[in-house]
Amino acid sequence: MNILKQLKAQYKKILLDYILNQNESNLYIGQNLIKQLIQKNVTPEDVIGIHKQAIEEIYEDLPESISHAYDFLIELMVHFGLKVKEHQFLLLKQEEMRIEMDIAAKIQNLLLETTIPTPELLDIGMVSIPKRKMNGDYVHFLHDDENYLGVAVTDVVGKGVPAALCMSMVKYGLDTLGYANSNPSYVLEVLNKIIEKSVDDSMFVSLFYGRYNLNNDIFTWASAGHEPALYYRAKENIFYDLESKGLLLGILPEFKYIQHDVKLEKDDFLVLMTDGVTDFRKLEEFDSRGYIKQLAVSYSRLSAQQMCEEIYKDLERLQDFNLDDDFTIVIIKK
């Protein structure tokens, strides 16, 4: 209260100075005072009230009509004052939500942490970078013995919290399936049913599931609307697209997914990715898959992990370090 009185006196003095001498420094001092007033939660109508009082004290013979005009302005400014309060309130809310989001993101990262398995005969690498705090991509490996390796690469259509929650369901679906030797078509059919039942209609999940037989090097895959993986056959120096037509998960509960096989040989490798890797919104005409193939071949002497990292760096640079989407790439080398 006393501080406010002091500020009012200051206001009057600065106003008087300005009335006598319209120089810039008085205006500057006035603005500094207003900043202090704002900090004390003084509203626009308060400021006009302070101004009116100062004017009435400076001009003792002020016509009453002018005082009325100030009252009119005070009345109207009450609503601006409410807007200011609303704004401050929303800023506080926003900060609260930011803190909650940070915590949620941390929990999500813990829940959806991917450990890359290290089977003796394969070299596996992975990079997964979220665009925002919460990752809409997820990679899940299953490796229970030295016979099979299962890998799922998922992308939830949609971003942020809803996508993250949906992803947790996919993870628990995969955890429940449990065995690395499950058929990819079976895995997709089970997940499809879970998601169809429990997730909002507006939420879609694309998933590429592969199973690597470590005994005979046969890779079996099925896809639910996911970006086709790349298969590099070293002997021919050619890439094949591992396509498979299947609906996104969560659309049709009884959908039958088809699986396919390919046999890997020495120096062959697989590139699994999400569409965040291949979609360059800023470079529409660009043959991104062709470019990724070139990159992959040029880095093919590196370890799988290094390949992923180098490809990420290249694509990030190409898009001015501002990717449009979550970015996930997995490379499996024989």
Partner 1 sequence: MLDETTVQIVTELDIVAARQLGRNEAKAIGFNKVDQARIATAISELAKNIFLYASVGKIIIKRITKNGNSEKGIAIIAIDKGPGIKDVGKVLDYSPAANNGAGLHAVKRLVDLIEIQSEIGMGTIVRIEKWLR
As measured in angstroms, the least distance from the Cβ of 95 to partner 1 is 16
Query: Closest approach of Cβ 328 to partner 1, in Å?
Result: 34
> What is the distance between the alpha carbons of residues 272 and 269, in angstroms, rounded to a whole number?
10
- Considering the complex, state which of residue 100 and residue 324 has its C-beta at the smaller distance from partner 1: 100
Least Å from the CB of residue 53 to partner 1: 9
Q: What are phi and psi of 112, to 5 degrees?
A: -105, 30
> For partner 1, which is the closer residue by CB, 93 or 197?
93
CB 269 within 8 A of CB 124: no
* Minimal distance, residue 12 CB to partner 1, in Å: 16
Torsion over CA of 211, 214, 218 and 220, rounded to 10 degrees? 0
Nearer to partner 1, 79 or 256 (CB): 79
Q: Which long-range contacts (CB under 8 A, 24 or more apart) does 253-258 make?
A: 253/192, 253/193, 253/196, 253/197, 255/189, 255/192, 256/185, 256/189, 257/184, 257/185, 257/188, 257/189, 257/192, 257/222, 257/223, 257/224, 258/185, 258/222
| Separation of alpha carbons 142 and 178, rounded Å | 7
User: Least distance to partner 1 from the beta carbon of 52, Å?
Assistant: 7
Per the document, the length of the chain is 334
Phi then psi dihedrals of residue 241, to 5 deg: -85, 125
Q: Among residues 86 and 145, whose Cβ is nearest to partner 1?
A: 86
| Residue 240 beta carbon to partner 1: minimum distance, rounded to whole angstroms | 51
Nearest to partner 1 of 5, 301 (CB atom): 5
Give the nearer residue to partner 1 in terms of CB position, either 94 or 294: 94
How much is the CA Rg of the chain, to the nearest whole Å? 32
Binding site for partner 1 (CB under 8 A): 1, 45-46, 48-49, 52, 71, 74-75, 78-79, 82-83, 85-86
